[in-house]
Amino acid sequence: MARRALLGALAGAVLGAAAARAAYAAFTRRPPVGDAETWNRTNHRGEPITLLEGPAFVAGAGAAAAVLPGFPVRLRAAALLAVAGGGGFGGYDDLYGVTSSKGFKGHLTALSKGEVTSGAVKIIGIGATGLAAAALTSRGGADTAVNGALVAGSANLANLFDLRPGRAIKVGLLCGAPLLAAAVRRDDPVRAGLAALSLGAAAALLPEDLGERAMLGDAGANALGALLGLAASVTLGRPGRLAVLGTVVALTAASEKISFTRVIAGNPVLHRIDMLGRRPVEQAPGHR
């Protein structure tokens, strides 16, 4: 039996969930930066929503990674780097970002013209912290490059799904579950705990997201993706990591040309998953 891994997964999920809920409650009373208005935005319905779910995920997942028993020092440091990099640079873009340049290509094009957008700062910052996290857990330069790209690329891709209630978290749960299962099969409590803490923190905040009271924003989505990328980098063999990285790159490139929202809406299975737990599109305001 994979008893040790199951216990590690349970500990990670419970710690991540409890810390994320506690952080959300604390931040709604006293935001980490500015006041509540600083974090308010308008969602796809034109209704007010808060981005404080993102910092709550970052704080919850980071706290769980810091205290979860049994983590090797280098993996613990890598997890903290990944969540801090994704959350910190994503939060910077949440608070100070502008929409004059959009997408990976748009920010890099602006940078080539000498314009340093908040998105470019985020891309460079998450790339650097992703590479640093990978260097702590990888063997050799080739593995470090692949794993660093996986952490940073996953962080960016997760953010591309944060356009409708619950979507980014659902994608994270669906992608993280196979990593958790792989660690449990190997009876590896450390890797199971790493995957589970991010899933626990995300699942604990899902009701706020589906209820359209809050959203992950760049801070939360980038941090969730970075942690899952790190979990993939330490759980999968090289062929698996290359396959995941290829998928991340392909989807990121496709996002420059096609709308994920439109693709999801046009596929009955994906649309059903996307709408699960959400308010019907035609439902009137007054849901809070």
Output the DSSP codes for 103-121. HHHHHHHHHHTT---HHHH
In contact, 197 and 9? CB cutoff 8 Å: no
The answer on pLDDT for 147 being more than 70 is: yes
The answer on pLDDT for 284 being more than 60 is: no
Which tokens hold the place of 278? 């959400």
The answer on pLDDT for 206 being more than 60 is: yes
Report the C-alpha gap between 204 and 46 in whole angstroms: 25
Mean pLDDT value of segment 26-55: 92
* pLDDT score recorded for residue 177: 96
* pLDDT score recorded for residue 101: 53
The answer on pLDDT for 287 being more than 60 is: no
Mean pLDDT estimate for the chain: 91
Looking at 91-105, 173-187, 258-272, which range is the least confident one?
Answer: 91-105
Report the C-alpha gap between 279 and 98 in whole angstroms: 29
* pLDDT score recorded for residue 285: 45
The answer on pLDDT for 15 being more than 60 is: yes
pLDDT tens, position by position, 111-144: 666 666 777 788 899 999 999 999 999 999 999 9
Which tokens hold the place of 263? 């693709």
Q: At what angle do helices 217-235 and 53-67 cross, to 10 degrees?
A: 30
DSSP secondary structure code for residue 276 in this structure:
T
For residue 267, the tally of other CB atoms under 10 A from its CB is 12
Confidence of residue 98 (pLDDT cuts 50, 70, 90): low
Mean pLDDT value of segment 81-103: 84
Q: At what angle do helices 118-137 and 140-160 cross, to 10 degrees?
A: 140
pTM beyond 0.85, yes or no: yes
Mean pLDDT value of segment 267-287: 79
Residues with Cβ within 8 Å of residue 223, at least 6 apart in sequence = 54, 57, 58, 61, 82, 83, 86, 87, 90, 155
> The dihedral of CA 243, 200, 96, 262: what is its sign?
positive
pLDDT tens, position by position, 168-201: 999 999 999 999 999 999 999 999 999 999 999 9
Mean pLDDT value of segment 23-30: 96
In contact, 211 and 47? CB cutoff 8 Å: no
